[in-house]
Amino acid sequence: MLKEEISSLIKDEIISLIRDRRAQIGVIGLGYVGLPLAVEFAHRGFTATGFEVDAGKVARINAGESYIGDVPSGAVKELIAEKRLRATTDFKNLAACDAIIICVPTPLRKTKEPDISYILAAAGEIKEHLRRGQLVILESTTYPGTTDEVLLPMFEETGLKLDTDFLLAFSPERVDPGNPQFQTHNIPKVVGGCTDDSTEAAATLYGQIVNQVHPVTSARVAEAAKLLENTFRAVNIGMANEMARLCYTLNIDTWEVIRAAATKPFGFMPFYPGPGIGGHCIPLDPHYLSWKARQHGFDSRFIGLAEEVNSRMPEHVVTLVADGLNDDRKALNGARVLLLGVAYKKDIDDVRESPALSIIDRLRAKGADVRYHDPFIAKVSFDDAHTLGHDNAPLESVELTDEELRAADCVVIVTDHSAVDYRRVTELAPLVVDTRNTLSGDLRRASRARIIRL
């Protein structure tokens, strides 16, 4: 049999299993990306197994309990009862999976270089149990070249060959936690394989659970597309943040400027300033792209400048607080400052890379008595990465009572959670710094508090 015929045979076998819903799906990593993905496959008639190193998460999933806000516990419980979904810490079960999807974190080292150790650990488990007839897909955000330069050689060390024995592709995750409008099924999926057969099989797999699949010519293109998406946002948010600082200096309303510019029906896309950028994607992903650029002698100056501007926003917020207190003849040192929200975005329970951590640290370093309220985050802890060498004691969320608001010298809206009664905040607090444009014109006009906006 010719090599081309063997290649087509393995692809056709995998696609047949997928289309008949007989393919066993394995998802490594049951976090914000992996759990919704596994649940979606199970909903569509596949049998999905989630692989986790955290035994606590595995126990909760198998008990029918979700720890991810976008995945209802009822849905997990139903799928567990139907034996469509299960979780395990035993990676030997990878051998039974026909399609394996890697959804593990890709953080940065302290040097801001890519840390793909979680990918390597997951790939090591797959390598140990790799067999003929499997499709492996990487979803974790990484630098261009990871799939075919790192994973492919690892898997072929087993003696199995790409296209002949297994298929390999990259499809970037596009999860937006807390967004009820866009979830797994209605977010277009970019897919790029190490070969055409890998692309076709991976596209067929995702086509069973999402409305639109966009195949590209290689895994490298798909890897680069993901980094472009988030670098685009980081750069434009950086521009909005720099504009906000300039407008503050010029005593101009930043938000009115943006609203006015956004009336142009072409050539302008509104981005909005904030207290800084957070989450796992936007603060980190551009560094994966700039690191890869440096390996080839290319200086990605836009990325570096955007990171510099965005990282200074917590400092700017502290300046707003200090200026506001100063106008009331109060010092920041010894002032009681109440932060509303510490999650990196509204209505979620995630503090990864949240600018609130940096704001708290800077306020503490200047002697402020800092407290916070967040209906989603009961406690925040600080390590050396989030402190300036000052107080790093953990904080617990306080109840948002009338007494708490009145006692604050300044209230800072860092995360605009929907559950907060902002009218009450403006009626009771003497000074409010609004970093999210949360307070509408009516609220500002009726406010008893003095309001400073970003």
Task: Provide mean pLDDT across the span 312-322.
Answer: 97
- pLDDT, tens digit, for every residue of 152-190? 999 999 999 999 999 999 999 998 888 889 989 999 999
Task: Provide mean pLDDT across the span 361-378.
Answer: 97
DSSP state of 114: B
Task: Provide mean pLDDT across the span 181-201.
Answer: 95
Q: Is the pLDDT of residue 385 over 60?
A: no
Q: Token pair for residue 419?
A: 């559950």
Contact yes or no for 227/288 (Cβ under 8 A) = yes
Contact yes or no for 79/42 (Cβ under 8 A) = yes
CA 92, 93, 97, 99 torsion: positive or negative? negative
pLDDT of residue 384: 56
Q: Is 103 a catalytic residue?
A: no
Percent of the chain with pLDDT over 70: 96
DSSP state of 329: T
Domains 3-217 and 235-453 belong to one CATH topology: yes
Sketch the domain layout of the chain as residue ranges.
Answer: 3-217, 235-453
pLDDT of residue 437: 95
pLDDT of residue 43: 96
| Cα dist from 261 to 239, 405, 415, 440, whole Å | 14, 36, 25, 19
In terms of Cα–Cα distance, which of 281, 439, 261 is closest to 353?
281
Average pLDDT, the chain: 94
Q: Is the pLDDT of residue 389 over 60?
A: no
Look at residue 380 and give its three-state secondary structure: strand
**Rounded distance, CA 394 to CA 372, Å?**
11
Q: Is the pLDDT of residue 349 over 80?
A: yes
Q: Is the pLDDT of residue 363 over 60?
A: yes
**Rounded distance, CA 378 to CA 371, Å?**
12
- The CATH number given to 3-217 is 3.40.50.720
Q: Which architecture, in CATH terms, is 235-453?
A: 3-Layer(aba) Sandwich (3.40)
Give the bridge partners for 193, in sequence order: 169
What is the per-residue DSSP string for 18-73? HHTT-PEEEEE--STTHHHHHHHHHHTT-EEEEE-S-HHHHHHHHTT---STTS-H
Task: Provide mean pLDDT across the span 406-433.
Answer: 97
Residue found by looking up tokens 């680069």 in the block: 224
Enumerate the H helices of 278-350 as residue ranges: 285-295, 301-311, 313-327
The string over 64-76, giving b where at least 16 C-beta atoms fall within 10 Å of a residue's C-beta and e elsewhere, is bebbbebbeeebb
Enumerate the H helices of 312-434 as residue ranges: 313-327, 355-365, 402-407, 422-428
pLDDT of residue 112: 85
pTM: 0.92
Single out the catalytic residue among 97, 103, 194, 281: 281
